[in-house]
Amino acid sequence: MNCLLCGGSLKVTLSFSWVLSWQQVQDNYLCSSCRREFVRIAGATCSGCGRRWPGMCPDCRQWQAKQAALLCNRALYVYNNAMRTYMQRYKFQGDYRLRRIFSDELQAALAKWYPRWQGWVYVPLPVDEVTWQTRGFNQVAGFLTGLSVKEVLMTIHSHHQKQSTKTRGARLQTPQPFQAKPTAARFSRVVLVDDVYTTGRTLYHAREALATVGVQHIRSVTLAR
């Protein structure tokens, strides 16, 4: 088996005690060198967006002034150069295999932070029709393959300019792209799932759409911040 990013060989060492344990072999899609390039978020984090920050960051203070409540986003990784390159290959170059690298981690985090037995449902942010036609898949839904999700958001117009190419100011001025489906009103606890939290504009748009149909408790989880 080879690393999905660099193509190098992956070596799996199985101890005798592990063989006797009958445990399932864990899928590993990255070599140790590539894995080290990704930085897990640890230590003090902002209570609003999940970035590494003691207390509440300035961005979330601004959101707090605009919103009745913050999303309390939680993220797994820092959005560094390695993650940026990964997203470029996965999303924009369309390498659907790369979803496997972080799928298990993201799904495990959702189950730990917002377990379904507590009534939480997972809602991946949708992509618009133009993105679907050009890319052929929803990158967030790709991470959640095999997990029960509720697709209760739909896009109401298409963005012809990629979010990643916009300035921060332009991102914050993005008009509402989502509308909640009528079935969303059946759920009181929703976790929005996205790939990257940058300014928060997209996630707060999704939150506003769900709130209009009566969803009361809305949180978010992203792979990176």
The upper half-sphere exposure of residue 172, i.e. CA atoms within 13 Å in the direction of its Cβ, equals 9
31-87 per-position pLDDT tens digit: 999 999 999 999 999 999 999 999 999 999 999 998 868 999 999 999 999 999 999
Query: What are the DSSP calls for 203-220, one per residue?
Result: HHHHHHHHHTTT--EEEE
Cα 166 to its chain centre, rounded Å, is: 19
Which residues lie closer than 8 Å to 119 by C-beta, 6 or more apart? Answer: 188, 189
Nearest to 59 by CA among 169, 136, 213: 169
Per-residue pLDDT of the chain (225 residues; tens, 9 = 90+): 899 999 999 976 555 564 455 554 456 899 999 999 999 999 999 999 999 999 999 999 999 998 868 999 999 999 999 999 999 999 999 999 999 999 999 999 999 999 999 999 999 999 999 999 999 999 999 999 999 999 999 999 765 556 666 677 777 878 999 999 999 999 999 999 999 999 999 999 999 999 999 999 999 999 999
